[in-house]
Structure 1
Amino acid sequence: MGVLDGYRVIDLSIAMAGPLAAMRLGDLGADVIKVEPVSGEWQRHAPAGGATGNRVNASFLSLNRNKRSLAVDLKSPEGREIVTALVRTGDVFVQNYRAGVAQRLGLDYDSVRALNPDIVYVSISGYGEDGPYAARAGQDLLLQAMSGAMANVGRDGDPPQPSGTYAVDAITAYSAFEAALAGLLHRERTGEAQHITVNMLDAAIAVQAQEMSIYSVGHVPQHRGAEPHGHTYIRAPYGAFATADGYLALAMPPLATLGELLGSPELAAMDDHTDGHTHRDRITAIVAGKLPTRTTAEWLALLEENGIWAAPVYSYADVLADPQVRHNGSFVTYEHPTEGTVTTPGFPFRLTRTPAEVTRPAPLTGEHTRDILDGLGYPRERVDALLAQGRIAAETPGAPATGDEPAAAAS
């Protein structure tokens, strides 16, 4: 039994930020009902990296475990009737529609609150609920660009450097997850529900608390040098460096110690916090010239012995094979009815009394439509009629796939 067992989450979100937030609530035991179009959520038809799968692609699998799928046409009166009945049973409502879409569907906060005054309503947007950018599409790379983070890495004169992960989507997801839990806690204490708004721009800014404050309080501008550097506000050496057989990451070592190990009197004579910033390019060039003389393993052993922070630069294959990753159980492996054995990143938290677990694989489109409608009191004959009319969809693992057309993205 999970810590959120007995709570119901109604997830009308698409892409990554909303689905990941809702999945985390499901990982903690909530009954998460993913409401998606009869043709399936957008992410089902846009496989990241081209990993299409059999009937469920890898990106959808990664964001939608521990959910049930209700596939329904929200533009039809019958579909709105179903979701209205569902809303009355919910504890948390999550949506990341573009501005105006929730209102047109009758699923904005005021409409949902009128149906269920006790529901915690989480609205995720790109730039905010209102303001000059409210109507813009929120996408990870665009928000990385507008958050200022791209100017923190790389070399002067090179293009700005985006993150190698969907960083803003993930940060926003965890902000929404945290906010939903806070909303539930407030409701338990006071009996009051509320509207919670989360936006990608604020999340991307908030995660840069140190960097932004260095500029806004300390008035130190971002500055990229002539040599590649891992972070504009951190002293050298800081970044990934080539070795004889690969790369290692080196983070803010004492320059005197590092200079001795590298056989560089010039480096050994430098001051960490003054020269480390003012002579960043020179330090980086010295280190880059010395490290290719030994293998990554040789350097790591020597650096660790001398208390210097260093690590190998991994590929995903290396991550999966790492002994600490295996010890931690950082990945979960389970059986999916159409995709076979599935291994995906697991849970970033550990609860000793109510541990997170995979109780449901990522669903097929509408896989649980019949079960959910049965729970809402819909007679079997009515469900059969709605299926025949195309107002709902109900795939099952043993049946051929249906609904191949991509759903219109709402956000």
Structure 2
Amino acid sequence: MVDFSTTLAGAYATQFLADCGADVVMVEPAAGNPLRQQPGWPGLLRGKRSVALDLRDTGDREEVDRLLERADVAVMTVRPAIAGRYGLVAADISARHPHLVVASITGWGSRGPWRDYKGWEALVMAKVGVMHEKQGLTRRPGPAYVTTLYASWGAAHAAVQGILASLIERDCTGRGQVVESNLVTGLGAMDPWNWFHEMILDRYPDAFQPAAEPYDQDARPVGYLVFPLLAAPTKDAHWLQFAQVSPKLMHAWMSELDLLEELKKPKWQDFPMLPTPELRTEWWDMMLERVQARTLDDWQAALDANPDLSAELFRTPEASLEHPQTVFEGRAVELMDPKLGPVRQPSTLIHVDGKPVTDLRAAPLRGEHRIEELDWHESEHGLPDSANDGDFGLPLRGVTIVEMGSMYAGPYGATILTDLGARVIKIEPLDGDNIRGMLAYPEAGGAKVLQGKESCAIDITTAEGRDLVYALIKNADVVLNCSRGKSAERAKVDEDTLKSINPDLIVLSTSGYGLDGPFAHRAAYAPSIGAASGLSLLDSHGAAHAPKDLDDLHRTAAALFAGGTVLAVQCDGIAALGVASALMVGIYAKSRGVELSGMATTMLGSVQQALISHNLSYAGKGDMPDADPEFYGLNALYRLYRAADGWIFLAAPLPMEWTVFTEAMSLYCAVGADPRFATPALRVTNDAALAAELAAAFATRDKADWEKDLAARDVGCVAVAERSSGIVLQGDDCFEAGYSVESHSPVFDQHRRLAPLHHFSRSLTKADGGCTLGQHTRAIMREIGLDDEAIDRLEADRIIACG
């Protein structure tokens, strides 16, 4: 692989592939890759090699071309507006090197009205609506800056999946192609069900009430999820994130807090949907008081004694690598850097047979390697006689995946692969995956994660039901098993059992914590993994402090909730993208004759990977830029500002952008001529004064006018959407830009859904809708040789359910 990327999205993608064994060579200019300025660079660049070449130099460009002639994949992150300056137009490279897979990762994609916008993560977060959804992070009204780079993670892993799919296609045709991903659809992959919640509200405005915000402006509970997902401090001021979301877990929770008798009083008859702020706050305070009555050690003993209690300590990203499960699984490693010394960091996202998928190597020095020293041979990518330039079709056509899992973090990984053509048969219990009932409108909760799948309802707790699964497994290529701990082994659907039936099977196990270890038996939910991984504290700016008083306790709890529990961006989505990439690694490895046994990912491990810029530790490590206390942004040139009718986000932080920006602003303020801001160092020193000057200017005009005028001057600026990302992305603007597409489902008929995360120059994708419970059971039973009489008998005996 040749890696031209200079953004976090590109670094995530190539780091993952290097971790899986790809030979990644970075092309770096004399000043080095800008990613080396980030404290997390030793992890982001690990396992790669580096050559020093100047893409503006004709001779070096010729060297790059010779390098590409011997490569399989090229990865770039330059936006379309300036790609030509560096000779990095993806289509041109593909034309010169038809064997090559060229991956382009950009902020906005190569089509649509925003294709030439600057690709800063915060611009995407703001325009799509995520900063609006995260407003609970700040005590002031309005949107809030988001620290975790969810969109970059989504775009990176979409690129990984597209690259591997293209390589599979190339093995058939001999031809490479261009594959694109972007931050917008990468961000859209994070949300489990709010898209369809918003769609239902829009279709039937008088039939359903919008889901309430969890807290009001006074930090009083509004939504019922505050109770099962309680964030609370212990007696010794350690904050815990509880996750008691099912009826069974909630009963255990109320019992542990000694509140079952209290619940019998008539005033609580509507619990958990309590009707007034006063009642909700009173109940909340009782829960908080009971948590605060015990120390962290007391709570740890209670958690150890009761498997139906689930809670995690709020950890920093660095401290998350000390999590007992992380230590047990060996998911934190130490690499020796020749200049930095030992660098502690997460291990590979995929583990195989209980170990990292490859042996990790430290990041290279800039220009450490020479092209002539690379052990790459001249191109052997001859085009077969049957090769043609037409569409190949769906790259995963013919691949069958059997999915055994529930909810989102694992199953959505398989959903992503249906867009690439994989057939995914979802084994559901007879009453369906719990996610189907997460919203008031029937099936809306599971609509997104069920897209493109076939539902086969089987009771696998029975011997007869398991035999049906075994019959299915005989003709499958992949099994995705989302069971935690030893439950798959107890259910007799573990890897050893399944491979005894089909030795060629690819099996990926994914769960919250893993198959063995101190936390393996625990259920995992996005908020608890957010706390354990450090994500919640990262997004909430380290909110978990000892509360000064009751009001401070309330507001801290609200901020921590916003840190890790907002549906639009959370750990479920991060983990799901990792699952999809791991599935693709298994499929590609098998196609190359490599068997990966005991292949596993975890929610905790995947989120730690996503936070690698923040959780590395080494001597002399600097700090990542942090949001200001009011969550406007990082500095005066990368932050939220009020406009006359709402908010804008400005992203012009680079010294090279200053002149263009100040010229564009010259009619509204004179910051370009102000000696206080004449140099980058002075702008840092006088950041508050610069922000005040810009705030006064931006308040004079409407947000759409600012976006239009500044974007026309190539300044990063967007109007902040003040609606949910779920409704923004399916709106007309995003539909016309290609971020959403038309689809059809048996429940919602014609509707818009998130577009496939990958766009190919040759291969195709599809965008199917969801399925009803057991919709495909009968057809699948016929495939394994049962006649209608046998199927009817199984349905009557409650072994299967046919929709």
TM over 0.5: yes
In structure 2, the CA distance between the partners of 1:241 and 1:359, relative to structure 1 (3 Å rule), is: closer
2:782 aligns with none
Alignment partner of 1:225 is 2:238: no
- CA shift at 1:15, angstroms? 2.6
1:173 aligns with 156
1:138 aligns with 119
Gaps of 5+ in 2: 203-209, 379-653, 658-715, 717-803
In structure 2, the CA distance between the partners of 1:407 and 1:340, relative to structure 1 (3 Å rule), is: farther
**CA distance in structure 2 between the aligned counterparts of 1:260 and 1:66, rounded to whole angstroms:** 50
CA contact (8 A) 1:330 1:346 kept: yes
**CA distance in structure 2 between the aligned counterparts of 1:231 and 1:128, rounded to whole angstroms:** 38
In structure 2, the CA distance between the partners of 1:10 and 1:284, relative to structure 1 (3 Å rule), is: farther
2:45 aligns with 64
1:186 aligns with 169
Count of residues in correspondence between the two structures = 364
CA deviation map 1:388-410 (0-9, x unaligned): xxxxxxxxxxxxxxxxxx9989x
- CA shift at 1:347, angstroms? 0.9
Query: Matched residue of 1:344: which SS?
Result: strand
- CA shift at 1:252, angstroms? 3.4
Query: Matched residue of 1:65: which SS?
Result: coil
CA contact (8 A) 1:87 1:116 kept: yes
Query: Matched residue of 2:352: which SS?
Result: coil
- CA shift at 1:301, angstroms? 3.0
- CA shift at 1:358, angstroms? 3.9
In structure 2, the CA distance between the partners of 1:373 and 1:184, relative to structure 1 (3 Å rule), is: closer
Alignment partner of 1:207 is 2:207: no
Alignment partner of 1:356 is 2:357: yes
**1:186 partner amino acid:** E
Which stretch has the larger CA shift, 356-365 or 87-96?
356-365
**2:157 partner amino acid:** Y
CA contact (8 A) 1:98 1:135 kept: yes
1:36 aligns with 28
1:236 aligns with 227
* Match for residue 258 of structure 1 among 237, 247, 253: 253
* 1:285-324 mapped onto 2 (5 Å cutoff): 285-303=285-303, 305-306=305-306, 307-316=308-317, 318-324=319-325
CA contact (8 A) 1:225 1:281 kept: no
**CA distance in structure 2 between the aligned counterparts of 1:36 and 1:407, rounded to whole angstroms:** 20
* 1:70-85 mapped onto 2 (5 Å cutoff): 70-85=51-66
In structure 2, the CA distance between the partners of 1:258 and 1:355, relative to structure 1 (3 Å rule), is: closer
CA contact (8 A) 2:154 2:189 kept: no
Alignment partner of 1:249 is 2:241: yes
**CA distance in structure 1 between the aligned counterparts of 2:281 and 2:132, rounded to whole angstroms:** 17
* Match for residue 77 of structure 2 among 96, 99, 106: 96
**CA distance in structure 2 between the aligned counterparts of 1:250 and 1:354, rounded to whole angstroms:** 30
- CA shift at 1:240, angstroms? 2.2
CA deviation map 1:164-200 (0-9, x unaligned): 5322222222222222112212222343422111110
CA deviation map 1:234-263 (0-9, x unaligned): 463324211112110012355554334324
1:366 aligns with 367
In structure 2, the CA distance between the partners of 1:231 and 1:407, relative to structure 1 (3 Å rule), is: farther
In structure 2, the CA distance between the partners of 1:222 and 1:95, relative to structure 1 (3 Å rule), is: farther
**CA distance in structure 2 between the aligned counterparts of 1:186 and 1:407, rounded to whole angstroms:** 43
Say which one has the larger Rg: 2
Which stretch has the larger CA shift, 242-251 or 154-163?
154-163
CA contact (8 A) 1:276 1:283 kept: no
**CA distance in structure 1 between the aligned counterparts of 2:223 and 2:123, rounded to whole angstroms:** 21
* RCO comparison, higher one (Cα < 8 Å, 6+): 1
**1:110 partner amino acid:** A
CA contact (8 A) 1:109 1:121 kept: yes
**1:77 partner amino acid:** T
- CA shift at 1:18, angstroms? 0.1
In structure 2, the CA distance between the partners of 1:374 and 1:160, relative to structure 1 (3 Å rule), is: same
**2:364 partner amino acid:** P
Gaps of 5+ in 1: 1-8, 48-57, 378-405
**CA distance in structure 1 between the aligned counterparts of 2:328 and 2:221, rounded to whole angstroms:** 29
- CA shift at 1:134, angstroms? 1.6
**CA distance in structure 2 between the aligned counterparts of 1:40 and 1:231, rounded to whole angstroms:** 50
1:14 aligns with 6
1:121 aligns with 102
Which stretch has the larger CA shift, 163-172 or 367-376?
367-376
In structure 2, the CA distance between the partners of 1:319 and 1:353, relative to structure 1 (3 Å rule), is: closer
CA contact (8 A) 1:21 1:174 kept: yes
- CA shift at 1:352, angstroms? 4.3
CA deviation map 1:193-219 (0-9, x unaligned): 221111101110122132222222455
Question: How much identity, in percent, do the aligned residues show?
Answer: 28
Query: Matched residue of 1:363: which SS?
Result: coil
2:764 aligns with none
In structure 2, the CA distance between the partners of 1:229 and 1:121, relative to structure 1 (3 Å rule), is: farther
Which stretch has the larger CA shift, 82-91 or 166-175?
166-175
**CA distance in structure 2 between the aligned counterparts of 1:160 and 1:239, rounded to whole angstroms:** 23
CA contact (8 A) 1:126 1:199 kept: yes
Which stretch has the larger CA shift, 149-158 or 107-116?
149-158
2:672 aligns with none
CA contact (8 A) 1:256 1:270 kept: no
CA contact (8 A) 2:213 2:222 kept: no
CA contact (8 A) 2:230 2:242 kept: yes
CA contact (8 A) 2:211 2:223 kept: no
TM-score normalized with structure 2 length = 0.41
In structure 2, the CA distance between the partners of 1:282 and 1:125, relative to structure 1 (3 Å rule), is: farther
- CA shift at 1:41, angstroms? 0.7
CA contact (8 A) 1:241 1:248 kept: yes
CA contact (8 A) 1:151 1:224 kept: no
TM-score normalized with structure 1 length = 0.77
**CA distance in structure 1 between the aligned counterparts of 2:365 and 2:187, rounded to whole angstroms:** 32
**CA distance in structure 1 between the aligned counterparts of 2:41 and 2:255, rounded to whole angstroms:** 50
**CA distance in structure 1 between the aligned counterparts of 2:141 and 2:304, rounded to whole angstroms:** 33
**2:121 partner amino acid:** D
